[in-house]
Structure 1
Amino acid sequence: METLDMKQIKDLKTELVRFMMSYKFALAEVNTKIDILKQEFQYIHEYNPIEHVSSRVKSPDSILKKVKRKGYEFTLDSIKENIRDIAGIRITCSFIPDIYEVSKMLSNQKDIKVVEVKDYIEHPKPNGYRSLHLIIQIPIFLSDRVENIYVEVQIRTIAMDFWASLEHKIYYKYNKEVPESIRMELKEAAEASTQLDLKMENINEKVRKIKKVNDTKDAIQELSLDQERFYIPDVFFHSNLNTAK
């Protein structure tokens, strides 16, 4: 019986290690995909929509606290199916349109399955929080099995990320008991960050149009120069004809 118990403990430990490693591998897979998209986008379009990428795997303690809070079963299968943000990636973009472009590029990957989309940009949370959340599934090929792992992807602008990070710090400082007056100020700050995003997007669009016009002018000028280089005056032909006679 003692040997059987030790074997069970060893098997459980192996499964727990594999369980956590699967999420680490899933993050590595998604991070690689994002890095490829960044490099390809920069090379083809001479522009990188992604400013920063960070990732994390929830600690076992944090996972268990959430399981208890939500009332889920304390089994690996239940945790795997119900806790879908164990592996998380945050992508910070320059402008709001970049968020949807990055989301589309990820969603178009054949081995990525988009399970859920929560658009807190179109529909902000009551406290003013804005971000685009995707729950995706990605296959992880282990030595003896294939695991389909959930990964939460949050995509936001620099302004959204700035507000969310500081709002989290303030709530943590007050142990989530934030006075109503401060809640209102945070909401106003969220609205101000929204206006900043829209202003910067408008400026970027104007610059893009100016660049397009200037590129067109440069192309026309270059074409004119090419024509001048290869232009052969009619007098050349007349002089050659006279010489031939």
Structure 2
Amino acid sequence: MDGRDWGTFLLPYEQAVEELKVKFKTMRAELKKREEYAPIEFVTGRVKKISSILEKSRRLNVALDDVETGIEDIAGIRIMCQFVDDIRRVAEYIRARKDLTVLIEKDYITNFKESGYRSFHMIIEYPVQTALGQKKVLAEIQIRTLAMNFWATIEHSLSYKYRESLPDDMRARLKKTAEAAFVLDNEMSAIRLQILEAQKAFEDDSNIVSRTLSIIHQLYFYHLVHEAIEAQKRFNDCWERHDMEGLKVLLDDVKQLLGNARKGENPDEQL
């Protein structure tokens, strides 16, 4: 086995993964604020285990002195999307970034693997600032839907268990389930607009509930105890009746009360 200090060797990869996760999570938050919808559902990352690096270098016939350039996925980022169309959009955002360089793209969605595997891969070069100066490392970004990710996770676990000898019947069943996942993605894309409208409605309703309760709680700090109690009763009544329109009216009322309290005014009317 190679006598290098693997802990030190992997440090820049670990740094790259942590920085990229933060950047893509920040991208998601910004897009959500700007457009109310972000094509990124969530982001994960990992650094290959030493045993996996050694195994892959053996399988690809890469000398251990050459793993930095011969193994492209020591650092890995996985970006999950709701819809297939989102994958293309995320890839465009990555291509436009100035803090990394896209070297290779592998489209396993259009050209899926024989096993049924589907995903979009981008090999990037990413600069990290180490204690000894800048170091550019390779990293792989995988962009896939939730359905693709579910299938790939199961397939990876089975492949690890059986190594190179995955039984033919299991291989066939995995391929069939990959097709089922692909059909599911297509069906979800077909009703994308309705899904997004439903998600937005749910999020809007959740925001109304949380904002209303937060303001009711703040009324106590302005000694508007009676008003807060009456507002809570109205909230409970609306909640029991699933009356979102009533909650919207209540939100406007308590916002007015809080605004008056902050200006040092007394509320003109009781709730």
Q: Same fold (TM over 0.5)?
A: yes
Work out whether 1:67 is the aligned partner of 2:57: yes
Instruction: Report which stretch shifted further, 47-56 or 110-119.
Output: 47-56
Change (3 A) 1:97 1:62: same
How far did 1:208 drift?
6.1
User: Which letter maps to 2:60?
Assistant: K
- Highest Rg: 1 or 2? 1
Tell me: CA distance 1:187–1:136, structure 2 relative to 1, closer, same or farther (3 Å): same
Q: Which runs of 5+ in 1 are unaligned?
A: 1-8, 212-245
Displacement of 1:150 after TM fit?
0.6
1:49 partnered with 2:17: no
Match of 2:131 in 1: 143
Partner of 2:68: 80
Which structure has the higher relative contact order (CA within 8 Å, separation 6+)?
A: 1
Deviations 1:94-138 (A, max 9, x none): 001111111111221112100110000011001110000110111
Corresponding residue number in structure 1 for 2:88:
100
1:24 maps to which residue? 14
SS at match of 1:121: coil
CA 1:172–1:143 in 2, change beyond 3 Å: closer, same or farther?
closer
**Cα pair distance change 1:182/1:17, threshold 3 Å:** closer
TM-score, normalised to structure 1, is: 0.74
Query: What RMSD in Å do the two structures reach over aligned CA positions?
Result: 2.2
- Which among 67, 73, 79 is matched to residue 91 of structure 1? 79
Q: Hey, which bits of structure 1, 4+ residues long, moved more than 4 A? A: 206-211
Of 92-101 and 51-60, more deviation after overlay is shown by 51-60
- Aligned residue-pair number: 197
- Counterpart for residue 231 of structure 1: none
Which residue number corresponds to residue 26 of structure 2? 36
- Between the aligned partners of 1:92 and 1:192, the Cα distance in structure 2 is 18
1:106 alignment partner, SS class: helix
What is the correspondence of 1:180-195 to structure 2 with a 5 Å cutoff? 180-195=168-183
Deviations 1:220-242 (A, max 9, x none): xxxxxxxxxxxxxxxxxxxxxxx
Q: Does 1:119 align with 2:119?
A: no
Q: Shift of residue 168 of structure 1?
A: 2.2
Shift of 1:79: 1.2
CA distance in 2, matches of 1:41, 1:193: 27
